[in-house]
Amino acid sequence: MYRYVVADVFTDTALRGNPVAVYLDARGLDKVTMQRIAREMNLSETLFVLPAEADGDVWVRIFTPVNELPFAGHPTLGTAVVLGETHRGDVLRMETAMGTVPFTLSRDGGGRVEMVTMEQPIPEWSPYPEADHLLAALGVEESTLPVEVYRNGPRHVYIGLPTAADLSALRPDQRELAEHLDLAANCFAPWDGRWRTRMFSPAYGVAEDAATGSAAGPLAIHLARHGLAEWDREIVIHQGVEMGRHSVMRARAVRGETGVNRVAVSGSAVVVARGELDLGET
């Protein structure tokens, strides 16, 4: 039996945000079985917790229904909330394929984790060479900012729209989007001093994502680089509105003398289910 917890992430309300399944002790599971379990759970990501191998408290592996990711935002942040039930410290360090990622746990008076801040890997970025085809697949004539791709594990490309109404009206061609391999298309628009986003990634087995934590940090960089946000000032991102799973993420990008030196993303999560997976082992 393998115990798991389901948490709704980037929300404090059940049945909103983005769900993640967290397997609390994945020892004995190989990569093939983890992938099959992720397909069985059929969530955008499933995370498997393993004993630490280097400088972390735990080692984690993250799977979409179709592939393994070296890093992802909402599943790791949700896992930090879940593990915070038994981990009594204020910092939790997760070993990932992108390095060890620290999470700061903020607790209420009863010790419950109510907010988590992750220090994300600093991405690399460049112009996206297939921008015209991507815009056509999304049904967008042009982007308000240059179409650029950022990698912090997943590959995120950013497409700006004038208004949140334009964002809500998107009806992308999923077959055409699937031709953009190893890529998540993040569309964003201003919204009353905040930002609204939608993410589409058939390449990662996710038609649309309710909250994409790994995309929140690079968006803060993208907006600051192009003068639509301030360095070292938090932006608030709302996602999942069109899906009925409203999520709220907070992101901050800090630039030093040699470039971006810190990317932080914050949010909350709520546990909504606990269970056991029976693989029929004897």
Cα gap 64→38, rounded to integer Å: 6
Contact 103, 64 (CB under 8 A): no
Predicted confidence (pLDDT) per residue in 104-147, tens digit:
999 999 999 999 999 999 999 999 999 999 999 999 999 999 99
* 199 beta partners: 186, 209
Q: Give residue-wise pLDDT tens across range 225-245.
A: 999 999 999 999 999 999 999
C-alpha dist (Å) from residue 67 to 2, 31, 34: 21, 10, 10
Q: For residues 181-206, give the mean pLDDT.
A: 97
Per-residue pLDDT tens over the stretch 37-85:
999 999 999 999 999 999 999 999 999 999 999 999 999 999 999 999 9
pLDDT of 212 strictly over 80: yes
19: its two tokens: 């769900």
Superfamily of domain 124-265: Diaminopimelate Epimerase; Chain A, domain 1 (3.10.310.10)
Residue whose C-alpha is closest to residue 47's, from 62, 33, 59: 62
Predicted local confidence at residue 282, as pLDDT: 45
Tell which CATH architecture fits domain 2-120+268-277: Roll (3.10)
Q: Residue 175 — φ and ψ, nearest 5°? A: -65, -40
Let me know: does 253 contact 112? Beta carbons within 8 Å: no
Nearest CA to 71 among 86, 83, 89, 59? Answer: 59
Question: Measuring CA to CA, how many Å separate 154 from each of 108, 193, 235, 274, 279?
Answer: 32, 27, 21, 28, 30
Question: Percentage of the chain surpassing pLDDT 90?
Answer: 99
Indicate which residues carry an active-site annotation.
45
Domain ranges of the chain: 2-120+268-277, 124-265
Q: What's the average model confidence in pLDDT over 149-158?
A: 97
pTM: 0.96
Q: How many helices (H) and strands (E) does the chain have?
A: 6, 18
Beta bridge partners of 104: 91, 117
**For residue 170, what are its two tokens?**
């998107």
Report the mean per-residue pLDDT for the chain. 97
Are the CB atoms for 158 and 150 separated by under 8 Å?
Answer: yes
Q: pLDDT grade, residue 185 (50/70/90)? A: very high
Fold identical between 2-120+268-277 and 124-265? yes
What pLDDT score does 281 carry?
Answer: 72
Backbone angles phi, psi at 263, to 5 degrees: -135, 120
How many Cβ atoms are within 10 Å of 277's Cβ, its own excluded? 14
186's CB contacts (< 8 A; 6+ apart) are 156, 157, 158, 159, 197, 198, 199, 212, 215, 219
Q: DSSP states of 174-235 as a string?
A: HHHHTTSTT-EEEEEEEETTEEEEEEEEGGGTEEEES--HHHHHHHHHHHHHTTSS-TTS-E
Find the radius of gyration of the CA atoms of the chain: 18
Mean pLDDT, residues 262-275: 98
In angstroms, the CA 39 to CA 49 distance is: 17
